Amino acid sequence: MLDQPDPRSNPSAPHEGTAPPLDFQEHLARLAAAGLLTRIDRPINKDTELHPLVRWQFQGGLREDQRRAFLFTNVTDAVGRRYDMPVAIGALAASAQIYAIGMGRAIDDIGEGWMKAIANPIPPMRVAGAPCQEVVVKGDALRKADGGLKLLPVPISTPGYDAAPYLTATLCITADPDTGVRNMGTYRAQLKATDRLGVRMAARPGGAGGYLHWQKYRKLKMPMPIAIVVGCAPVVMFTGPQKLPIVCDEMAVAGGLAGVPIRTVKGLTVDLDIPADAECVVEGLIDPELLEPEGPFGESHGHVALEDFNMSMQVTAITHKREAVWVSILSEVTPSESSVMKRVAYEPRYLVHLRDTLAIKGVRRVVLHEPLTNLRKVLFVQFAPGVARSEVWRALYGAASLQADIGKYVIAVSEDVDPDNPHAVFWSLAYRANPIEDVQITPHRSPGHGPKTGGQRDESTMLIDATLKEPAPPLALPKREFMEAARKIWDELGLPQLIPQAPWHGYSLGEWDAAWDIYASRAIAGQWEDSGRETFARRRGGLTPETPVKDVKE
């Protein structure tokens, strides 16, 4: 790979402001311009206060569109140290809107952007000189008592449970020793010493690409080179959580997202290409044989991950910009920044798989349930009215089989049921699903991402068809026009702010007679006695109470 000109000087590059930001600090500037960045200048302790403060916007009942990125400019720690490097958190995916700004696309265009980038990757180009290597810490400076990793404002994610500060917003770059194909994954890294990290890469099916590389290095009895990037262009960072094919060059996919090649530079102490405009890079070697205890750490499956034996990384260099920003992400209990980062890309990919790859008719949406369940366990497929049951079941099986760790419970619902409203889903289960006919259970599912308590037995999959099978009476709420008129009065009276959740008005579900529209119109006009005179003339004998009128011939 030859040194080449800066791609941002290319006149064919996307227009500024619509193209994705190619630098993390440019991304912060766009968030600030959009009113999505909160700057905190008062002292904040990274070990006890920083993550809990931002956690409140996920646990405090705020809507997703009320969440913000935070930039802490006055960071301290438990022993009184003050850091010159500010810390950003929530800046990658506190909300879908923040993610979309990092993608340079509207929220509705994110899925299409991913599909095009995967189909049309743009290889990176290596450049000479790089902002990410303006400051270099290596050799004795790594081992000084207050040097090395202690120079970085690494927060504690779950104060009271985590065993140490953790690198969380990581882009861990490794390469296949046989093919040279690189992998970029988001893996946690625990501070162990000024020059050592404990790195956790998922070993389960469907887990970490970096772990597959490590297995090869283990057979070769050679340490595995790794570069942990913290902070770079969002389109590069966003490739880390995606489960792309192991043979796919994810830096090239990032180029496809950006519309131009990603600038890279060779690492100082490892033979790996890293994003040239990154904020900070930790280079090192992972032991091919010896593992050390890592954890506890608050995990995204909603439990604290206890100690496991995981990879031991010897740090060989730390490099960063002169005016760098440290980046952290909020994980732990969902919803969180890490779950949003997955959800906004996974959902459209699942939709494309069902609608285009499997050619299933009538699929409207795919929704991964986020609060507490962490996306992977519960999945909803929403259908247009009148879809054949064979298509519903093809979709249920197709969604459950796309990834090994997603889809323990897969539920099909009709278009009028909002999968984001659990009450509407329970309503659908209560009245539209007969367990003996509409539920199937299949064995041999990967246990996936979760606490290891009780061993790692195979799990199973439950598929539920909770769609509307036949016409039903309308939903018993006032029609939309009456609810909207009442909403205006509510607002005029200054009553508490409403956050409507569908369904909030009545609508037809197929079973209705035009005569009943006449009755309803008379009722709101005060003419209900006219209807009473008509029904009096239709009285019948010899019937049992609750006999439906439609079953009796006039």
Say whether both 455 and 499 belong to one domain: no
Asked whether 438 and 414 are in contact (CB, 8 A), the reply is: no
pLDDT of residue 403: 86
pLDDT of residue 203: 80
- Give the closest residue to 19 by CA, choosing from 104, 99, 92: 104
- Does some domain include residue 474? no
- Does some domain include residue 351? no
Say whether both 105 and 187 belong to one domain: yes
Alpha-carbon dihedral 539, 542, 544, 548, rounded to 10 degrees: -50
pLDDT of residue 15: 35
Distance CA 475, CA 420 (A): 18
* Domain containing residue 430: CATH number: 3.40.1670.10
* Domain containing residue 85: CATH number: 2.30.110.10
pLDDT of residue 455: 61
- Does some domain include residue 60? yes
- Does some domain include residue 352? no
Say whether both 55 and 104 belong to one domain: yes
- DSSP for 288-314, written as a single string: EEEEEEE--EE-TTSSEE--EEEEEEE
Say whether both 41 and 185 belong to one domain: yes
Say whether both 286 and 137 belong to one domain: yes
Of 442, 465, 488, the residue at which a domain comes to its end is 465
Question: Quick one: residue 419, left, alpha or beta (phi over 0 = left, psi -120 to 50 = alpha)?
Answer: alpha
pLDDT of residue 454: 62
pLDDT of residue 331: 86
Of 283, 313, 328, the residue at which a domain comes to its end is 328
Say whether both 121 and 23 belong to one domain: yes
- Does some domain include residue 42? yes
Say whether both 140 and 168 belong to one domain: yes
Say whether both 96 and 201 belong to one domain: yes
Say whether both 178 and 238 belong to one domain: yes
Say whether both 489 and 457 belong to one domain: no
Rounded to whole angstroms, what are the CA distances from 422 to 369, 412, 505, 509? 9, 13, 17, 20
- E strand map for 250-298: 263-266, 273-275, 280-294, 297-298
End-to-end CA distance of the chain: 84
Asked whether 131 and 276 are in contact (CB, 8 A), the reply is: yes
- Please give the tally of structural domains in the chain: 3
- Does some domain include residue 383? yes
Range of the domain at 486: 480-551
Pairing mode, if any, of strands 75-76 and 82-83?
antiparallel
- Does some domain include residue 345? no
Say whether both 207 and 322 belong to one domain: yes
Across the chain, which has 554 residues, the per-10-residue mean pLDDT values are 36 52 97 97 95 92 92 95 97 96 94 91 94 97 96 94 93 94 92 96 75 95 98 94 81 95 97 97 97 88 85 97 96 86 91 94 94 90 94 96 90 95 94 96 78 71 96 90 93 90 90 92 93 92 89 83
Distance CA 486, CA 475 (A): 18
Say whether both 386 and 484 belong to one domain: no
